[in-house]
């Protein structure tokens, strides 16, 4: 099945057609920088540009950095607060003149990893963390997604965990990988105490450097790097949009 997947991030909006049966992109990604204010109308315009780039007429899946309930954004992480309460699915559908399904960005990346990546054929509780500007999370139980967990925002030291443990904190405070990893390890151990996952999958930009910090991590659970890297959000968004395809 061929579906367009679009991954909306705080710095860039990326899209490509996806073969959802094989989990591969069918063309190079097309990326446009996220508009500075990241307001609904501006992001919708970029969304439409990406759909037009591929001359797209069918279903589209989108990952968006917010809690998404029935297509409606309930939070606004790294985008303008005016997104809160916005029907993102309806907005994007109108802009692209195509049916659109929108899910949380970490959730769609997790969907891709569970079907085609490091979580494939893994049962039990799998906890995925995307390490970037924030800490995105996706939780699966026997392959079934528990949506909108947003567990990068749990409290640690009277702060959102992502403020001190995301890759942006490492860059902002000029931390060594070891210094940052000690913080991130505390975060993983906190999650472990709450959910007792059978597997942690680490994604996002920092996972590419996992060899620099994996020996610091002490959590008593298997930890692996995500396999689909920057393509996970696009692939997972396309998979999510399979639900829009009429059943024959």
The predicted structure's pLDDT at residue 78: 78
The predicted structure's pLDDT at residue 10: 83
Q: How far apart are CA 67 and CA 71, in angstroms?
A: 9
Q: How far apart are CA 202 and CA 210, in angstroms?
A: 9
CATH 3.30.420.40 domain locations along the chain? 2-104+231-244, 118-226
**Stated pTM of the model:** 0.93
Q: How far apart are CA 243 and CA 31, in angstroms?
A: 25
Q: Is the dihedral of CA 59, 12, 162, 119 positive or negative?
A: positive
The predicted structure's pLDDT at residue 248: 64
Of the candidate CATH numbers 3.90.1150.10, 3.30.420.40, 3.40.1280.10, 3.40.50.720, the domain formed by 118-226 belongs to 3.30.420.40
Q: How far apart are CA 188 and CA 216, in angstroms?
A: 12
The predicted structure's pLDDT at residue 51: 98
CATH class of residue range 2-104+231-244: alpha beta
The DSSP code for 39 is -
Residue stretches of the chain with pLDDT short of 70: 248
CB 216 within 8 A of CB 182: yes
Question: Token pair of 101, please?
Answer: 């399904």
- Reference 225, options 104, 116, 130; nearest CA is 130
The predicted structure's pLDDT at residue 180: 97
């Amino acid at each position: 099945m061929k579906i367009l997947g679009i991954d909306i991030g705080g710095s860039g909006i990326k899209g490509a057609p996806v073969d959802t049966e094989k989990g591969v992109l069918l063309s190079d990604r097309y990326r446009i920088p996220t508009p500075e204010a990241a307001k609904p109308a501006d992001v919708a315009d970029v969304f439409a540009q990406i759909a037009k780039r591929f001359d797209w007429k069918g279903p589209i899946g989108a990952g968006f950095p917010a809690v998404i309930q029935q297509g409606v954004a309930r939070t606004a992480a790294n985008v303008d607060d005016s997104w809160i309460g916005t029907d993102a699915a309806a907005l994007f559908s109108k802009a692209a003149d195509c049916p659109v399904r929108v899910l949380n960005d970490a959730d769609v990346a997790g969907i891709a990893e569970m079907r085609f990546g490091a979580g494939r054929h893994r049962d039990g509780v799998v906890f995925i963390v995307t390490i970037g500007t924030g800490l995105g999370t996706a939780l699966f139980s026997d392959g079934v997604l528990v949506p909108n967990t947003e567990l990068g925002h749990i409290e640690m030291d009277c702060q959102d965990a992502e403020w001190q443990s995301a890759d942006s904190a490492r860059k902002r405070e000029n931390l060594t990988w070891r210094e940052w990893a000690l913080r991130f390890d505390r975060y993983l151990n906190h999650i472990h105490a709450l959910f007792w996952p059978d597997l942690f999958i680490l994604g996002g930009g920092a996972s590419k450097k996992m060899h620099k910090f994996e020996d610091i991590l002490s959590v008593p659970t298997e930890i692996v790097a995500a396999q689909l890297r920057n393509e996970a959000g696009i692939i997972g968004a396309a998979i999510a949009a399979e639900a829009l395809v009429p059943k024959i």
